[in-house]
Amino acid sequence: MATVDAEPYGFDFEIPTTALLMIDFQRDFVYPGGFGEALGNDTSPLLKALPPAERVLKACRAAGMFVIHTREGHRPDLSDLPPAKKVRGRGKITIGDVGPMGRILVRGELGHDIVEEVYPIDGEPVVDKPGKGAFYATELTDVLEKYGIENLLVCGVTTEVCVNTTVREANDRGYRCVVLADGCASYFPEFHEMGLKMIKAQGGIFGWVSNSAAVLQALSPEIPLIAAAGGLR
Ligand code: TIU
């Protein structure tokens, strides 16, 4: 049993029943020219989640933890794209249109794929999802059940959209989630902050919040605990 320093209190887990869930680290969100920018956002704030998420990914792999990646996107024929989602944002280009990284948020396109820093390796399932939550219309439940997963360490973008939606869905299904604050990011710093607060409030109503240093510490206790230096936000 390992414990991650977390809020509202320590998060206990065992590696065989825990997975690292890496949510939507796709070019379409973190680089200019993709879906995030088409919605009117400056994508640069998302880049700061990549180094902590990469460190956690490598540490979890080294510890033998199961890793799952997700990608938000749609079939090339857009048959899984609700018309209401297609028009949302009223951008000049919307989902399915051609941008500098290929068709926006369409599976198989450059922009839809995961950035190199945290790219999946063999044996790590990639769950393609048409919605914000990773459980809706996906095989994620089957994957978690097959591997006996009970706990999720969560990194991803964006904090208040796909991360929060997925954590809420997971919590309702009985999974214990700890969200790593510096392994997540939002286009809006205040939404990042509040998105995390909403998870850990009320005794951890949706789950726990921690950070990359605390996870590294829990996985390799000989590393000095530096989590406290910047708090848990
Ligand atoms: N727009 C926004 O903040 N996020 C998304 O549309 N999807 C994810 O969070 N992945």
The rounded distance, in Å, linking the Cα atoms of 214 and 133 is: 26
What integer pLDDT is reported at residue 222 of this predicted model?
A: 62
Looking from the CA of residue 26, the nearest atom of ligand 1 is 10
What integer pLDDT is reported at residue 112 of this predicted model?
A: 98
Å from CA of 2 to ligand 1 middle: 31
Question: Which whole number is the average pLDDT over 153-177?
Answer: 99
Instruction: Give φ, ψ of 232 to 5 degrees.
Output: -105, 20
Residue 91 pLDDT class (50, 70, 90 cuts): confident
Tell me if 127 CB under 6 Å of ligand 1: no
Q: For residue 222, what are the CA distances in angstroms to 107, 212, 216?
A: 42, 15, 10
Question: Which whole number is the average pLDDT over 121-140?
Answer: 98
Residue 226 pLDDT class (50, 70, 90 cuts): low
Residue 228 pLDDT class (50, 70, 90 cuts): very low
What integer pLDDT is reported at residue 116 of this predicted model?
A: 98
Tell me if 26 CB under 6 Å of ligand 1: no
What integer pLDDT is reported at residue 192 of this predicted model?
A: 98
